[in-house]
């Protein structure tokens, strides 16, 4: 079975759907316990699950477009090839986190993106048959009202030093 078929196999097996940022996902967990609005930081406007989790898959030249959340998000590597998770902090620092299986090359199995950072992802080697299956855990739990997809022109003006990367991830 080719890598391309493996990506399709995982999408089918996990019943993944297209994600608005790019790639495919399926929510696998939402904690039954809810944090009341008054117990959350001011950036939240409604109650949230304590935590949520998804599977997320990119293949070939697919990208996760730049977006940001009100919560921290943990990324977990499961299978496939190395994924680069690009993070632009509110102060404009860029980190190209490598999420993958080769510890000796600086890749990690897990990373954290802090709330308020812009982030997106792409495969290190975007060959047509390559893919990466990862997981994302968000706490307090993810809600689409906390999801902000980046505007290319606004981000390019705010972070001119990263304009090339921004345009690449937003295309």
* pLDDT, the chain, mean: 95
CA dist., res. 88 & res. 112, Å (int): 13
pLDDT higher than 70, residue 91: yes
Look at the block and give the residue holding tokens 């995982």.
Answer: 10
CA dihedral 96, 99, 100, 103 (to 10 degrees): 70
At 2, is the pLDDT very low, low, confident or very high (cuts 50, 70, 90)? Answer: very low
Look at the block and give the residue holding tokens 């299986």.
Answer: 101
Q: What is the mean pLDDT of residues 127-133?
A: 93
pLDDT higher than 90, residue 171: no
pTM: 0.94
Q: Is 129 within 8 Å of 2 (Cβ atoms)?
A: yes
pLDDT higher than 50, residue 146: yes
């Amino acid at each position: 079975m080719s890598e391309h078929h493996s990506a399709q196999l995982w999408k089918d097996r996990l019943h993944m759907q297209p994600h608005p940022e790019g790639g495919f996902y399926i929510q696998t967990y939402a904690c039954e316990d809810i944090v009341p609005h008054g117990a959350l930081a001011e950036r939240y406007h409604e109650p949230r699950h304590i935590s949520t989790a998804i599977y997320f898959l990119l293949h070939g030249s697919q990208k996760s477009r730049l977006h940001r959340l009100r919560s921290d998000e943990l990324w977990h590597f499961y299978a496939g090839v190395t994924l680069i998770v690009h993070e632009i902090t509110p102060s404009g620092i860029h980190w190209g986190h490598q999420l993958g299986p080769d510890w000796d090359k600086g890749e990690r199995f897990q990373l954290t993106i802090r709330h308020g950072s812009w982030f997106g992802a792409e495969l290190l080697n975007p060959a047509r048959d390559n893919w990466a299956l990862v997981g994302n855990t968000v706490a307090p739990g993810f809600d689409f009202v906390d999801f902000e997809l980046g505007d290319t022109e606004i981000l390019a003006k705010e972070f001119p030093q990263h304009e090339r990367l921004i345009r690449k991830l937003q295309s």
